[in-house]
Chain A
Amino acid sequence: MSDLSVFREETRAWLIENCPEGVKGPGVVHSGSTKVTFEKDIQLWMERMADRGWTVPAWPKEYGGGGLTVEQTRVLFEEMNEIGARPPLINMGTRMFGPTLLEFGTEEQKQRHLTVIAKGGAAWCQGYSEPGAGSDLASLRCRAEDKGDYFLINGQKIWTSGAQYADWMFCLVRTDFDAAKHSGISFVLVPMDQEGVTVKPISLISGNSPFCETFLDDAIAEKRDLVGTMNEGWTIGKRLLQHERSGQGGLSPTAARPKPVGVTIDLEVDDVLKDYVNDSTISPALRDEVIDWKMRSAAFRLTQKRAGEQARDGKTPADTTSVFKLYGSTLAQDRQEIVVRLMGTQGLGWEGDTFSTDEIGAARSWLSSKAVTIYGGTNEVQANIIAKRVLGLPD
């Protein structure tokens, strides 16, 4: 038996033994936040997995990871999928900041932060966008003054997802106001629990508030929490965005994600669409839209799979992540449009007993899906990146 088969056998046995019932199937995933109390099974599952380093299986062991190869990581996820286990831990630390710090952090920084992330001991949020710096992120104005052994930070961040539950924020700040806009930016780590940090959730059209405004008024970041070189944070910030987009595009080979379905008619969405599609009153034009969506979705998954196989050769997400972010977010948004269209007037629910839970969920998802083609870089910005980096078109 190959080493990988042995690993699979052992992993399967361990998972069966240790995965609590309460984390099987869809549901809440641990975020590492110290400000949230999780159900017993969710907490237990995170802790058991963290003990083996399997909350972040591909990270090196010295930073709390599992030290698994890409193949072993894939086997682990396959076996987790097999028993319907949810990921033990997902947050911006595991998916975006951690991989970036692995690449750019000092040994001390990795020890200090990665081990905590791996244990589920801190949730992170992203201090990037500002009211005046959206797509043009590099025009950010949030100021950090060098005060000797700390930075004094003043400014405002916006769209900070999960800031109300976060323990830390990785933050792009301007440390040189005289330099060209990409050159005076630094990447610093800011503790959220301090007097100078105020968080206000933003109400969205879907009725939810997953995003916040974060105000920094004389907030403090320690000097040892400057990642990389002063004024050279843009490179690090961009790299982190690639990790973010590859997560959104479902590309990252080592990020836990729902069961990879390949091309299959059992796409989870079929259950939602099925009853409507089989309704003989559905127009052929709408039917064509449904099948066109299914087709594009299947092709997307096939391309993901191919990219994943290429990534197994050690290639990390690069500019092609924009291709997946752009196509994937459009696909996700189109789906919500179709679902609501299929429901007709039943898709108009916000609350009330004339609408089923699915129908209300569909209407709300239709609204919240407007965010997916904006966050992580708008579709238009992604197209610019593809044109420049992949196609080599001139400025």
Chain B
Amino acid sequence: MQTMYTEEQEQFREVVARFLRVKSTAGDVRQLMASSEGYDVAVWRQLCGEVGLAGTHIPEEYGGAGFGPVELGIVSEEMGRYLYCGPFFASSVMAGYALLNGATESYKSAILPDIASGAKIATLVLDNLNNPGEVGAALKATKEHVVSGIASIVVDAHIADLLIVAASTPDGLGLYLVNAGSEGLSITPQEALDPTRKLSRVSLSEVRAERIGWLTESLLNQTWDQICSVLAHEMIGGAQHLFESTLEYTKVRVQFGRPIGSFQALKHRCADLLMELEFAKAAIHHAAFCLAASEGEPYVASMAKAMASDTYMEAARAGVQLRGGIGFTWEEDTHLWYKRAKSSEVFMGSAHMHRERMMTMIERASGHDTGEQP
């Protein structure tokens, strides 16, 4: 199992960063967050085509690049840093992983190449994004190929061609394919606190759906883990950006005749933040290394997500506080990351949920089964 990035991986990061630095400036983010689509089609096509990122973790046999969680983490970290607005997370990561884990071979071959090439945008429809243990209560397959119910929050459903829906059946959680525009399907975009990640309410009323596979409890948890690992990378990239920009600000902002970064109260807050960041980063990269090697502790993804949640929020709070008044104005860019930090903090489970999930896994591993689901 690798414990540090290879030289190739560092070069890959530079390629991704170079692209996003130009294509996802704060100005671009502001423009896209105000639009209803929320992404730039030309940039997305470039990202899928020239740079080839949409299929980063999808095996070559399904048209992807054949990399794993480590490279995917690198892409996400840079996307988080530059606050990339686009369907990468919903389509490649969420739907991609659900399909890779749960779909039958023939559906994988049929759907994944379009996701890897960006020809189609998919999203994963889960009726609960707080806790894997609560998925399946609101979306149900009422008959063999008919799904009904409501998912109150779905990422990028408004631009999705394909909806990968997890719905409960008497035989467990089924994975269904619903095409955009299907009869009985209604997608209502919602104004969200974080306008850089577009959310919709998806309601299905007797919608015809093909069952393409199953998400057993363990596959659902595996999917959840993989998504959380990616999300945690995205978050630490954003936290790193906030940290660097805030540090820079304290060096140039002068009050009382000296840079505010010379005051001990601010110095200590910055030093604390550096430590939180460094230690969270170690945990987050470790999660990707473990998932890539199918080794390590069962709770690495929960640990990564919990630490990312706490760290990103702390970086965001410091980012606003240390800037003083300017930090909570619309004109200054900090709030873009501040809001993304909040939406990411709770998305796919809060730090508390993940700590509890980790504890339960530890107890199970050491033979103290509490009988609770993680």
Interface residues of A (CB under 8 A from B): 263-265, 270, 274, 278, 284, 287-288, 290-292, 294-296, 298-300, 302-303, 305-306, 309, 323, 326-327, 380, 382-384, 386-388, 390-395
Q: Which of A287, A305, A386, A395 contacts B274 (CB 8 A)?
A: A386
Establish whether residues A327 and B275, one from each chain, have CB atoms under 8 Å apart when the complex forms: yes
The 8 Å CB contact of B280, one of A299, A384, A394, is: A299
What residues of A have a CB within 8 angstroms of the CB of B300 in the complex? 263
Neighbour of A295 across the interface among B251, B258, B268, B306, CB < 8 A:
B306
Q: List 10 A-B contacts (CB under 8 A).
A: A263-B296, A265-B297, A278-B363, A288-B356, A292-B355, A299-B280, A384-B271, A386-B274, A386-B275, A387-B261
> Does B143 sit within 8 A of A, measured CB to CB?
no
Q: Which of B258, B259, B262, B352 contacts A288 (CB 8 A)?
A: B352
**Separation in Å of the B184 CB from the closest CB of chain A?**
41
**A25 to B279 Cα, complex, angstroms:** 30
Q: How far is the CA of A388 from the CA of B272 in the complex (A)?
A: 13
Query: Of A270, A298, A326, which is within 8 A of B283 by CB?
Result: A298
Given A383-B268, A387-B267, A393-B261, CB of A299 within 8 Å of CB of B279: yes
A295 to B283, CA, bound (A): 9
Q: Is B264 an interface residue (CB 8 A)?
A: yes
In contact, A265 and B267 (Cβ under 8 angstroms): no
Does B307 sit within 8 A of A, measured CB to CB?
Answer: yes
Contacts of A288 in B (CB 8 A): 352, 355-356
Is the C-beta of B163 less than 8 angstroms from some C-beta in chain A? Answer: no
Expressed in whole angstroms, the minimum distance between the Cβ of A216 and any Cβ of chain B is 34
* Closest B residue, CB atoms, query A305: B3
Q: Which residues of A contact B303 (CB under 8 A)?
A: 263, 295, 298-299
How far is B353's CA from A389's CA once the two chains are assembled, in angstroms?
A: 37
A265-B297, A309-B3, A387-B267 as given contacts; A395 in contact with B262, CB under 8 Å: yes
Q: Is B282 at the interface (CB under 8 A from chain A)?
A: yes
- Report how many A-B pairs have Cβ atoms within 8 Å: 109
Query: In the assembled complex, which residues on chain B have CB atoms less than 8 Å from the CB atom of A309?
Result: 3-4
Q: Which residue of B lies closest to A265 (CB)?
A: B362
| B131 interfacial by beta-carbon distance below 8 Å | no
CB proximity to A under 8 Å, residues B81-121: none
Residues of B within 8 A of A305 (CB): 3
**CB–CB B3/A383 < 8 A:** no
Given contacts A265-B365, A295-B303, A391-B247, contact A383 B355 (CB under 8 A): no
State whether A394 touches B282 (Cβ < 8 A).
no
Report whether A263 and B286 are in contact in the complex, using a CB–CB cutoff of 8 Å.
yes
Q: Report which of B259, B286, B366 forms a contact with A265, defined as CB distance below 8 A.
A: B366
Expressed in whole angstroms, the minimum distance between the Cβ of A270 and any Cβ of chain B is 8
Q: Decide: B283 and A291 in contact? CB cutoff 8 A.
A: no
Looking at chain A's contact residues, is the secondary structure mostly helix, strand, loop, or mixed? helix
Contact call B283/A290, Cβ cutoff below 8 A: no
Quick check: B268 and A394 within 8 Å, CB to CB?
no
Q: Is the CB of A306 within 8 A of B274?
A: no
Docked CA distance A309–B4 (Å): 9
Q: Does B74 contact A (CB under 8 A)?
A: no
Count how many chain B residues have C-beta atoms less than 8 Å from C-beta atoms of the other chain.
Answer: 40
B166 CB to closest chain A CB (Å) equals 28
B231-273 to A contact mask, C-beta < 8 Å, 1/0 = 0000000000000000100110000001101101011101110
- List B residues 178-208 near A (Cβ within 8 Å): none
CB pair A306–B365 under 8 Å, yes or no, is no
Bound: A278/B369 CA distance, A: 10
Residues B283 and A393 in contact, CB atoms below 8 Å apart: no
Closest to A270 in B: B366
A residues in contact with B362, CB < 8 Å? 265, 291, 294
Inside 8 A of B296's CB, which chain A residues have their CB? 263
A391 near B274: Cβ-Cβ < 8 Å: yes
Which residues of chain B are near A303, meaning CB under 8 Å?
278-279, 282
> Contact at A394–B275, with CB atoms within 8 Å?
no
* Contact of A302 (CB < 8 Å), options: B283, B306, B368: B283
| B160 in the interface (beta carbon within 8 A) | no
Cβ of B336 under 8 Å from chain A: no
Instruction: Indicate if B359 sits at the interface (CB-CB under 8 A).
Output: yes
Nearest neighbor of B302 in chain A, beta-carbon distance:
A295
Complex contacts, B359 vs chain A, CB 8 Å = 287, 290-291, 294
Q: Please, which residues of chain B bring their CB within 8 A of the CB of A388? A: 267
Chain B contacts for A306, CB-based, 8 A: 3-4, 282
> Is there contact, CB below 8 Å, between B279 and A387?
no
CB distance from A310 to the nearest CB of B (A): 8
Cβ B271 vs Cβ A386 within 8 A: yes
Q: What is the chain B residue whose CB lies nearest that of A280?
A: B370
Q: Give every chain B residue within 8 A of A287 (Cβ-Cβ).
A: 356, 359
Residues of A within 8 A of B366 (CB): 265, 270, 274
- Once the chains are docked, how many angstroms separate the CA of A349 from the CA of B362? 30
In whole Å, how far is B1's beta carbon from the nearest beta carbon of chain A?
10
Q: How far is the CA of A232 from the CA of B247 in the complex (A)?
A: 34
In contact, A263 and B297 (Cβ under 8 angstroms): yes
Contact A383 B271 (CB under 8 A): yes
Q: Which of B4, B258, B271, B356 has the most CB of A within 10 A?
A: B271
Q: Does B358 contact A (CB under 8 A)?
A: yes
Complex Cα distance A292/B350, Å? 13
- B1-39 near A? 1/0 per residue, CB < 8 Å: 001100000000000000000000000000000000000
Taken together as a complex, chains A and B put the C-alpha atoms of A194 and B267 apart, in Å, by 45
